[in-house]
Amino acid sequence: MQVHTLFTLAANTFIVASANSIVVIDAGMPNQAGRIVKRIRALGYAPRDVRLILITHGHIDHAGSAAALKRLTGAPIAMHTADIPLVATANLKVPPGRTPAIDAVGRLIAKFGFVVPLETFEPDICLEDGQSLKGFGANARVLHTPGHTAGSVTIGFDNGALFVGDALLNLIRVSFPLVWEDADAARASARKIRGLKPRAIYTGHGRAFDAQALDDFVVR
């Protein structure tokens, strides 16, 4: 299994290639689908090799190009039911900030809305906790890790690679998300992620990190 990371304007998109199939984890901001497909071709694959477009949660920096990527690849979009309302409307919804300062910035973004509108969509597949993705050529399963949003999921591969979306960030160091719908749930999800004893943690924002960095954060 090979992980290719592409920065799609605000967040990371991951092209995970194993044998003859690809899953894309998060689709980036709007207008990024062409870039993602270009990278897929550069890696020696065809757009039709994409078996699944996995959306870790419904925020525009992760779901913004999902509909366009589906058009270009023919692959179904999968996400958790609880975040469907977020992608059913083009209006940006920013959850409360983790600190008052972050909250103020979030309110500004929401008020002035300089983010381009989301292309709305309905997922083809609704992900559930514990669901296997083997049918899509990925030796992975879904873990429901709510808190940042109600429908946030982590994709855990059998080899210990974990794709956590915004459940944990690594901007300067490993941290909780900047904004969250449910702080207690986010803390519980961080413990759940640590309990899996991952080998490598791929976050939506920042560089991938290892189990040691995760331990340092959770213990702190």
Rounded-to-integer distance, Cα 65 and Cα 33, Å: 6
Q: In the bound complex, what is the minimum distance in angstroms from residue 10's beta carbon to Zn ion?
A: 7
Rounded-to-integer distance, Cα 131 and Cα 91, Å: 30
Using rule CB under 5 A, residue 11 touches Zn ion = yes
Length of the chain: 220
SS percent in the chain: helix, strand, coil, step 5? 30, 30, 40
Binding mask 113-152 for Zn ion (x = CB under 5 A): ----------------------------------------
Using rule CB under 5 A, residue 26 touches Zn ion = no
Using rule CB under 5 A, residue 61 touches Zn ion = yes
Using rule CB under 5 A, residue 181 touches Zn ion = no
User: Among 15, 27, 32, 59, which residue interacts with Zn ion (rule: CB under 5 A)?
Assistant: 59
Closest to Zn ion by CB, 147 or 204: 204
- What H or E segment, with its residue span, contains residue 210? strand 209-210
Using rule CB under 5 A, residue 98 touches Zn ion = no
Rounded-to-integer distance, Cα 90 and Cα 123, Å: 15
CB burial of residue 19 (10 Å; 0-12, 13-18, 19+): exposed
Q: In the bound complex, what is the minimum distance in angstroms from residue 19's beta carbon to Zn ion?
A: 29
- What H or E segment, with its residue span, contains residue 125? strand 125-127
Q: In the bound complex, what is the minimum distance in angstroms from residue 105's beta carbon to Zn ion?
A: 14
Using rule CB under 5 A, residue 204 touches Zn ion = yes
Closest to Zn ion by CB, 63 or 214: 63
The binding site for Zn ion (CB under 5 A) comprises 11, 59, 61, 166, 204
